[in-house]
Structure 1
Amino acid sequence: MPASFVVRPATQADGAFLGEMVVEAANWKPGSDRLKHEVLTDPDHRRYVSGWMRPGDAGFVALAGTGEAIGAAWYRMFPRTDPGFGYVATGVPEMIIGVRPIWRAHGVGRALVQALCEHAKASGFGRLSLSVERGNFATTLYRSEGFAVTTAGHGRNTMVKRLG
């Protein structure tokens, strides 16, 4: 596997790839193999990519040296009346991240999280939230990047990073 990758801003054309990354995120647990259509027809997961790139959406895509998309992190705003898994408040974007399994633990997720946090801060946001299932190894990455658990939910935790 090539060790190099680059990160670029996500575009409207990346919507289908972001859908693939929602599936990767949903199937983080070894042995989990929910089919793409099962994940993307579930309203709880579809909300993270439906209508990409709407006002307020922003993200980044990681590309291998070959140009293949290998991961993405993005955020969306959700209303209090239709919250995502990691909703904390109106005006706080929720981050979603997915990385192809072979590229995990190679710095791709960290680079994506850092780029997204820098962008959110530059865009005037004071916080960024996310939701992570208990037991997901990515929790270690999120903690190391300044996210802290604010709400322990049913099998998942909501984490928030202060960007100021």
Structure 2
Amino acid sequence: MDSGFALRRAAQTDAMFLGDMLVEAASWRAGGVRPRHEVLNSADHRRYLAGWKRMADDGLVATGAHEVPVGAAWYRVLPQNAPGFGFVGVAVPELIIGVHPLWRARGVGRALLRGVIELAGTQGHARISLSVERDNFARNLYRAEGFALVAEGESRETMARRTR
């Protein structure tokens, strides 16, 4: 059965689309859309994209018909003195994932998640981490794919899993 999408490796030229997916990830609540400039100019979010694609950065892009991007999952290794929401340790990449709303609940997020975990493993990373707001439905996907709770904040959870 054709899933209607394919995965490819993220390139430096995907930076603008990754920005779109970062906005989707930050605006996951129904009716909670945040302006692109607000998300991308926020220090909390900018760290996941600024200077893409650095040596330790990698990821995947899901494409639909005519190779139009519909989702992305990527990771960055962030320093201890400038951690992201999902920081668990030095050299553990933090995962960011976003899927266009029209492509949600169609297997795109799960395929991206599985693919980027495998990619991180092939790049020598033993673990990968992420942060998810406690009421985000994606939390169930992460748990189903082997992510375990590492730390709890007021409204977010940090989760991690082994890549192999």
How far did residue 154 of structure 1 move? 2.1
Alpha-carbon distance in 1 for matches of 2:82, 2:115: 27
How far did residue 151 of structure 1 move? 0.4
- Which residue of structure 1 aligns with residue 156 of structure 2? 156
- Which residue of structure 2 aligns with residue 145 of structure 1? 145
Alpha-carbon distance in 2 for matches of 1:154, 1:35: 24
Q: What TM-score do you get using the length of structure 1 for normalisation?
A: 0.97
Where in structure 1 do 4 or more consecutive aligned residues deviate above 4 Å? none
Aligned length: 163
Give the secondary structure class of the aligned counterpart of 2:109.
helix
| Structure 2, unaligned runs of 5 or more | none
| Structure 1, unaligned runs of 5 or more | none
Give the percent of matched residue pairs that are identical in Structure 1 and Structure 2. 53
Alpha-carbon distance in 2 for matches of 1:87, 1:155: 16
- Which residue of structure 2 aligns with residue 110 of structure 1? 110
What code does the residue aligned with 1:67 have?
E
Alpha-carbon distance in 1 for matches of 2:34, 2:66: 28
Cα-to-partner distance string for 1:43-63 (whole Å, 9 max, x where unaligned): 101111110001100000000
Q: What TM-score do you get using the length of structure 2 for normalisation?
A: 0.97
What code does the residue aligned with 1:92 have?
V
Alpha-carbon distance in 2 for matches of 1:33, 1:145: 27
How far did residue 3 of structure 1 move? 4.7
Alpha-carbon distance in 1 for matches of 2:153, 2:66: 40
Give the secondary structure class of the aligned counterpart of 2:54.
coil
What is the root-mean-square deviation of aligned Cα atoms in Å?
Answer: 1.1
